[in-house]
Structure 1
Amino acid sequence: MRELTKDDVIAAVKGGSVFASGGGGWVEHGLEIGTAAITLGRPKLASVDELPDDAIIITCTAIGAPAGTDWQMLGKDYVKAVQLLIEAYGGQVAGVMTPQNGMSSSINGWLPAAALGLAVVDATGDIRAHPTGKMGSLGLASRIDYETVQAVAGGKPEIGSYIELVTKGTPARTSNILRTASDMAGGFIAAARHPLPAGYIKKHAAIGGVSLAIELGRSIVDAEPRGPEEVLETICRVTGGRFVGKGRVSKIRVRYAGAFDIGTIEVGTGKKKLTLHVMNEYMAVDNRDGERISTFPDVITTFSLDTGLPVSVGHLQEGQNIGVFAIDKSRIPLSSSVKDPSVYPEVEEALGIPLQSYALDGIEPFRPADHAPPAAYV
């Protein structure tokens, strides 16, 4: 267990921005919340092995679409969501974790941890960012034999959109309720969910996910004085990823719908044209002939070739010169979340493309019936 520092904040945001896969929040928000955390208290990063199996860990996150324009999430909203969950849970909580890495989501739980004296657990529900809560729910998405509690807080009081909500029930039903709350709050909302014993986290999370982002971020910081090309080469070397294509953004067709950004982005022209399928994050890449190049849970990220920085879906512009980067799923830790076949149909329907057959190719699927449910939170 070690104390998190300002250098860790910067590194987590830079490394998390690669794993953000076009979503995962915003750089400015991550730096702001991370700095607030280390100013308010002394949050500590803990290995899950440092906690007893019965220690309760909760997930801290933000729910919504990066292109939402009328939302507000303050630091106190992250803390309030955790307080609401702990009150509803009625037991002692030892630590917080994030469901995913991202530009700000790698740091999701740091501020509540600092404010409430909790550990930041070095585990993620998914190494990369993803669009639905079910994709970071550690294999709980389809369980009807586990009752969870989830809480949200956020919105603008001055226009009447601020919401606090606590919901109990199955993970799938409660996740859908929180998505609706996010939309009603303006497009994004702070959330806390799923009190789970550390023993369950050890078996089903992507262990070391936060450290992975921090270590990548440190390598990026070291490479930055040598220019954008060196940064991109460093990212490829450290992650084992590669650029699957480069070119100008030729067409953006992404719309906001129900707290999701959904659509396609085309890069390049002619034989080198790529189509990126978006649901908040990049979920798949096809070539000109419709052949699949990369699919979630691969990391898929767009980089500015001029700056060497990741560019999110919401900040891409037609005519921008970018590189499309991918890390194969075989090179990253995979949680039960992304091995669960039940998390894919919802996203496949929204995008109108197959995902599951590609995502689970070569992977032993997670079958809830083969695993005992975690102890109920009450």
Structure 2
Amino acid sequence: MGRILTEKDVEAAVRGGSVYAAGGGGWADHGRMLGLAAVRIGRPELVTLDELEKDDWVATAAAIGAPAGTTRWEMQGVDYVKAVRLLQEALGEPLAALMVGQNGRSSTLNGWLPSAILGTKVLDAVGDIRAHPTGDMGSIGLAASPEPTIQTAVGGNRADNRYIELAVRGATAKISPILRTASDMSGGFIASARNPVRASYVRKNAALGGISMALALGEAILAAEGKGPGKGGGSAVIDAICKVTGGAIAVSGRIARKDVVYTNAAFDIGTVVIGSGDKATTLHVMNEYMAIDDAAGTRIATFPDVITTLDKDGEPLSVGQLHVGMNVHVLHVPKTIIPLSAGVLDPSVYPPVEAAMGIEIARYVFEEETRKKRKGKK
């Protein structure tokens, strides 16, 4: 028997997911809307892979787009449900469970409403423990697969006649851009269900336990906040975040510069500099924080490490909330202590991100493996 998700789990999922959002946007209120709707009209159930048969179908529930607050996006809870229905119709078989591509302010809760209404289980597995800029990074190793798959998308601004429903088939690399285009045409944010695979494939390729990790972190944050004024406050929250994630504060200081621009490919790209002179630290951004360099250009942290900015109260801040003069703490959780999926260990997902950002990422991701191979050859 899985864990029935309740109202108290909603806030925990949003709060823990906000840390793993790694500076990505998303909307905490959208997450609360999805979660509260689910627990009020049904009994969404969180299950592990051990509770599924190896041939059960599992799909990824996702929200596509970069709603920077400047677009007239509209996504209703029912859109997530309709996307799953469309996928089941196209597949011709029922889905047993839904996973998500990444944790985040709302994405941790993407599978809850379909679970409450359709009975699909919320699978305790994610495509990436933290948020990332491209869908390929959360696609559990399917990014370069030539095998045809199915992806659906539903949503849009109804008042502007932008509501769209679509189901597409093909290799995921070829059809994922179609969904991003649909998201743009719908107003900037659209619900999707995609890439149905067998549970046995998920077991080998996903980051297992990702949802319960977000829930446990959120519970610890809420407990630390409950200590009240004068009993720890923000430092108690930050301590709790570090303890539960196994991470540490890599840098603290004042934001000296922020150079982040929104591109026509729907990405926020640029840098944020904390401190000055030989103490300056640079955060590299592509929607989320992807790397940290010190003043000498030495790499301190690289995706898929968890990198998150927190304010003095331990509240996670998205890139969009940062401004010059603000004091922040930067949480760093090394990739060596979190479950990693096949998506973030797939070399093919890095070249487009490196080209867009103008920095090296893959070399740092795979340096340990490269070192091991070199030792093996000696």
TM-score bracket relative to the smaller structure: over 0.9
Aligned to 2:7: 6
Alignment TM-score, normalising by the size of structure 1: 0.93
Following superposition, the deviation at residue 363 of structure 1 comes to 4.2
Of 316, 322, 331, 1:325 maps to 331
Question: C-alpha distance in 1, partners of 2:311/2:67?
Answer: 18
Give unmatched runs, 5+ long, in structure 2.
Answer: 372-378
Equivalent of residue 303 in structure 1, options 306, 310, 314: 310
Measure the CA separation in 1 of the matches of 2:164 and 2:279: 46
1:68 CA drift (Å)? 4.6
1:100 matched to which residue of 2? 102
TM-superposed CA distance for 1:18, in Å, is: 1.0
Q: State the one-letter code of the partner of 1:22.
A: G
Paired AA for residue 339 in structure 1: L
Task: Give the AA of the match of 1:93.
Answer: L
Residue 288 (structure 1) aligns with: 295
**1:180 corresponds to which residue?**
181
SS at match of 1:337: coil
Deviations 1:15-49 (A, max 9, x none): 11111101162211111111111012100001111
Q: Which amino acid is 2:277 matched to?
A: G
Q: Contact 1:220–1:234 (CA<8 Å) still a contact in 2?
A: yes
Aligned to 1:376: none
Q: Equivalents in 2 of 1:57, 1:24: separation in Å?
A: 26
Is the CA contact 2:25–2:66 (under 8 Å) kept in the aligned structure 1?
no
Tell me what 1:270 maps to. 277
Indicate the residue corresponding to 1:152 in structure 2: 153
Counterpart-to-counterpart distance in 2, 1:2 and 1:36: 17
Distance 1:93 1:364, change over 3 A: farther
Displacement over 3 Å in runs of 4+: none
Determine the C-alpha separation between the residues in 2 that align with 1:82 and 1:272.
Answer: 49
- Which secondary structure does the structure 2 equivalent of 1:362 belong to? helix
- 1:339 corresponds in structure 2 to 345
In the alignment, the residues of structure 2 paired with residue 336 and residue 196 of structure 1 have an alpha-carbon distance, to the nearest angstrom, of: 14
Specify the alignment match of 2:39 in structure 1.
38
Q: Deviations over 1:310-343 (max 9, x none)?
A: 0011211221111111100001000111000001
1:241 aligns with 2:241: no
Q: CA deviation at 1:236?
A: 1.0
Query: Is the Cα contact below 8 Å between 1:122 and 1:208 reproduced in 2?
Result: yes
**Quick check: 1:120 aligned with 2:104?**
no
Contact 2:9 2:215 in 1 (8 A): yes
- Is 2:253 aligned against 1:253? no
Equivalent position amino acid for 2:85 in 1 = Q
Q: 1:59, CA displacement in angstroms? A: 0.4
The unaligned stretches of length 5 or more in structure 1 are: 366-378
How far, CA to CA, are the matches of 1:72 and 1:251 in structure 2?
Answer: 33
Number of aligned positions between the proteins: 363
Counterpart of 2:87 in structure 1 is 85
1:220 aligned residue: 221
Q: 1:160, CA displacement in angstroms?
A: 2.8
| TM-fit CA distance, 1:167 | 1.3
**Whole-Å Cα distance in 2 between the matches of residues 359 and 28 of structure 1?**
33
Q: Aligned partners of 1:161 and 1:318: how far apart in 2?
A: 36
Give yes or no for contact 2:149–2:172 (8 Å, CA) kept in 1: yes
TM-score by length of 2: 0.93
Deviation at 1:186, TM superposition (A): 2.3
Alignment map for 1:359-378 (pairs within 5 Å): 359-363=365-369
After superposition, the Cα gap between the structure-2 partners of 1:78 and 1:268, relative to the gap in structure 1 and judged at 3 Å, is: same
Following superposition, the deviation at residue 183 of structure 1 comes to 2.0
User: CA deviation digits over 1:282-333, x for unaligned, max 9?
Assistant: 111111222111110000000012x210001121122111111110000100
In structure 2, C-alpha distance between the alignment counterparts of 1:271 and 1:32, rounded to whole Å:
45
Q: Structure 2 counterpart of 1:249, which letter?
A: I
- 1:136 is the counterpart of 2:143: no
CA distance in structure 1 between the partners assigned to 2:257 and 2:69 by the alignment: 20
In the alignment, the residues of structure 2 paired with residue 267 and residue 165 of structure 1 have an alpha-carbon distance, to the nearest angstrom, of: 43
Deviation per CA, 1:96-136: give whole Å up to 9, x if none: 11111111111111111111111000000110111111001
**Correspondence for 1:200:** 201
Residue in 1 that maps onto 2:237: 231
Contact 2:305 2:332 (C-alpha < 8 Å) held by counterparts: yes
Q: Does 1:59 pair with 2:60?
A: yes
Contact conserved, 1:124 with 1:210, CA < 8 A, in 2?
Answer: yes
Q: What CA distance in whole angstroms lies between the structure 1 residues aligned with 2:67 and 2:22?
A: 12
Local SS of the residue matching 1:308? coil
* Alpha-carbon contact 1:339-1:363 (below 8 Å) kept: no
Q: 1:187 deviation in Å?
A: 2.1
Q: Aligned partner of 1:296: which letter? A: F
Deviation at 1:206?
Answer: 0.6
Cα pair distance change 1:231/1:17, threshold 3 Å: same
- Following superposition, the deviation at residue 228 of structure 1 comes to 0.5
Tell me, in whole angstroms, the C-alpha distance in 2 between the residues paired with 1:189 and 1:140.
Answer: 21
Contact 2:129 2:338 survives alignment (8 Å) = yes
Would you say the 8 A contact 1:17–1:24 is kept in 2? no
